Amino acid sequence: MGVINNVTQEIRKEGLFQWMLRQLDVLITRLTTGLNWNDLRSMARGDEPRRPNPRLTVHSESFFFHIKPSYYHQSVTKIGHTFRLGLLSTYFFLIELVTGIFLMIYYAPTPERAYGDMLNIISGVPFGQFVRDIHRLGAEAMVIVVFLHMVRTYLTGSYKKPRQFTWLTGVILLLATLFLSFSGYLLPWDQLAYWAVTIGGSMIDKAPPPVLGKTAQLILLGAPAIGAAGLLRFYLLHVLFVPLIVIFVFFIHYYKVVRVGISLPSLQEEIGQDTAKRVPADKRRYYLPDVFTDEMVFLGLITFILLALIIFGVYPGAPLEHHANPNKTPLHTEAPWYFLWIQGLLKLGDPTIMGVIVPTIVFGLLAIIPYIDFNPSRKAKDRPVAIALWMFSMAVLVVLTWMGTPYFMVESPPAEEVVQIMLPEEKDGPVRQTDWELLTVGEWDTTQDNSAASFDVQQLMVLFNDLIHEEHEKVVERHEAKVNDLRSIRNPTPEEQEELAKLLATDPGLPNGSGKMIIENWQEGLKKVTMRVFWTPEGDSEQTFEKTFYIHDDSNYDGQ
């Protein structure tokens, strides 16, 4: 009864409205762990805090704010110093977490269900494809952001004493990010996933000594090849194990960042000094409200860009190819772009050396950079070797990435290549882009008059013809380059002579090439398209390559 009496007395004294306002203010103070309504208003106005500063209480009382420092040196809060890339990496991780849980609701990691579940996410779940796009684009953006974060840290020399261990945990987070992205690749269980992961799995297999490689692969895939067991393991790694590692290592990483402070711009410090933690009172920039507001505005902007890229179709959308088919290797299997450099390495030599040992050395060196760099200065002008090494590494990375694409050292038969461009296995391509109704039934020939066909089909035949000649010229060029290389050898070995003779005896490419496209009505809403390429090498009979496709009126490979 005493409590009620007190309350009644208070209400009598203040009036009900005033009393309710005061209670609301108490509630606000509790929710903000120390800031009342007037404090919030004064913060928003940009006033100086009252004394004692209630904004600091928040940092000691609230969990989420206690992991943030209460103030920074004003030099490190400028966007141009860190670009807030660390915050951004964390933000993308959170986006992945939330969108990932949404996707998990509709997904079961078994070969029988996975692909069907993907179809359902795209065609049966409201916002399904949208969330998938965010998840996919967020993952790729996270790889880029983490990478840029490391580049920034390297170029400003911020990994130096006392931040060596922070860098090391950063390398672990980079590896975890790459593996998270890669393990997510397998889950849709489509051709893209299956073959990209097959390449990755076969690399682990090559780890020396063989017993280690084989065991590691067996542990990861649960079988000698990717199947039900591998899918389940990748799933658990993707949704549980690696995220746990990321969270664990992230807290170590971030604790170190807060503990030693963000390094000041190198020009503001004496060589070998670290003044990040000693912030003079006039240089302080408080987290509440200044930095907090900056961060929110920044993240708002990034969210805006991320969503705009998806909604306005700049990002073509998370792909989904045909169902994984172990019996059908795609013409070009490509690793995800962030691993193309390893694929490029693989083209250069022995898979054990290029696919396992070299990447291990690269990441190993990356991890120990702070411990082998004895240069005490963080100023760029004192670090010519470090900067030159970085430029060199970037150039090598770019070249290797290019070498990883099918443009380098992949020679598929030219006729197959032509058909692949006209009517690719996956994605749409010129024939599928043509309006289904306008695919005129008939037998169309690049050497004949096709005026009976629709204008679109006529255009396709012109393109077909051009492609045959382009591919022919490409192959002939390569062939001639090889011949010239062999001819320029001063003292050729018998093998080289033999090879030259063999090259000279072949008529490469698609000599006298022509193409046919046969379009037939097959079922209601279904047309059969047969692509044939003919060519006649000198002194040989006519050669043919043929591939059949079915095209349904409703199917749509756009943006896939």
What crossing angle do the helices spanning 191-205 and 210-221 adopt, rounded to 10°? 150
Start-to-end Cα distance in the chain: 70
Our CB check for another protein shows the closer of 112 and 485 to be: 112
Answer for the pair 514, 446: CB distance below 8 angstroms, yes or no: yes
- What is the Cα–Cα distance from 149 to 154, expressed in whole angstroms? 9
Does position 40 interact with another protein (CB under 8 A)? The reply is: no
Q: x/- binding map, residues 125-164, to another protein, per CB under 8 A?
A: -xx-xx----------------------------------
Q: Between residue 527 and residue 546, which ones bind another protein under the rule CB under 8 A? A: 528, 530
Residue 449 or 495 having the CB closest to another protein: 449
Instruction: Write down the least CB distance from residue 342 to another protein, Å.
Output: 30
Shortest Cβ distance from residue 4 to another protein (Å)? 41
Binding residue for another protein, selected from 7, 308, 365, 395, defined by CB under 8 A: 308
Q: How far is CA 414 from the centre of its chain?
A: 31
**182 burial level (CB within 10 Å; 0-12, 13-18, 19+):** buried
3-state secondary structure 356-401: HHHHHHHHHHHHHHHHHCCCCCCCHHHCHHHHHHHHHHHHHHHHHH
Query: CB 556 → another protein: shortest distance, Å?
Result: 4
Q: In the complex, what is the shortest distance from the CB of residue 119 to another protein, in angstroms, rounded to a whole number?
A: 5
Give the CA angle between residues 503, 507, 509 to the nearest 5°: 105
Q: Decide whether 188 or 336 has the Cβ nearer to another protein.
A: 188
Binder among 25, 274, 290, 507 for another protein (CB under 8 A): 290
Q: Contact 162/269 with Cβ under 8 angstroms?
A: no
Residue 46 in the binding site for another protein (CB under 8 A): yes
* 473 is an interface residue for another protein by CB under 8 A: no
- Which residue of 301, 399, 410, 489 would you call a contact of another protein, by CB under 8 A? 301
Does 553 participate in binding another protein (rule CB under 8 A)? yes
Angle, helices 85-105 vs 242-260, to 10°: value is 160
Q: Considering the complex, state which of residue 44 and residue 348 has its C-beta at the smaller distance from another protein.
A: 44
CA angle 115, 120, 122 (to 5 degrees): 100
Closer CB to another protein, 491 or 541, in the complex: 541
334 scored as a contact of another protein (CB under 8 A): no
Residue 68 CB, shortest distance to another protein, in Å, is: 17
What DSSP line would sit under 87-120, residue for residue? Answer: HHHHHHHHHHHHHHHHHHHT---STTTHHHHHHH
Name the minimum Å distance from CB 541 to another protein: 12
Using rule CB under 8 A, residue 123 touches another protein: yes
Is-contact 55 289, C-beta < 8 A? yes
Per CB under 8 A, 338 contacts another protein: no
Q: Classify the C-alpha dihedral 32-303-124-117 as positive or negative.
A: negative
Nearer to another protein among residue 232 and residue 441 (C-beta): 441
Pairwise CA distance, residues 499 & 140, whole Å: 45
Number of shown-chain residues binding another protein (CB under 8 A)? 54
In angstroms, what is the minimal distance from the CB of 298 to another protein?
Answer: 9
Q: Which letter, b or e, does each residue of 129-140 get, where b requires 16 or more Cβ atoms within 10 Å of its Cβ?
A: bbbbbbbbbbbb
Does residue number 87 form part of the binding site for another protein (CB under 8 A)? no
Taking the least distance from each CB to another protein, the nearer of 271 and 296 is 296
Stretch that binds another protein, among 224-232, 268-276, 290-298, 464-472 (CB under 8 A): 290-298
Q: Which of 435, 495, 524, 538 binds another protein (CB under 8 A)?
A: 524
Q: Residue 520 interacts with another protein (CB under 8 A)?
A: yes
Q: Pick the stretch among 161-169, 287-295, 356-364, 490-498 that binds another protein (CB under 8 A).
A: 287-295
Candidate segments 122-130, 140-148, 251-259, 260-268, binder of another protein by CB under 8 A: 122-130
Q: Which residues pair with 72 in a beta bridge?
A: 285
Contact between 116 and another protein per CB under 8 A: yes
Helices (H), 237-313: 242-260, 292-311
Please state, in angstroms and rounded to a whole number, the distance separating the CA atoms of residues 210 and 39: 66
Token reading at 94:
């959170």
What is the H or E stretch that residue 231 is in?
helix 228-236
Q: Whole-number minimum distance, CB 310 to another protein, in Å?
A: 9
435 lies in the binding site for another protein (CB under 8 A) = no
Q: Which residues sit at the interface with another protein, rule CB under 8 A?
A: 43-47, 111-112, 115-116, 119, 122-124, 126-127, 129-130, 289-290, 293-294, 296-297, 300-301, 303-304, 307-308, 311, 322-323, 441-443, 518, 520-526, 528, 530, 548-556
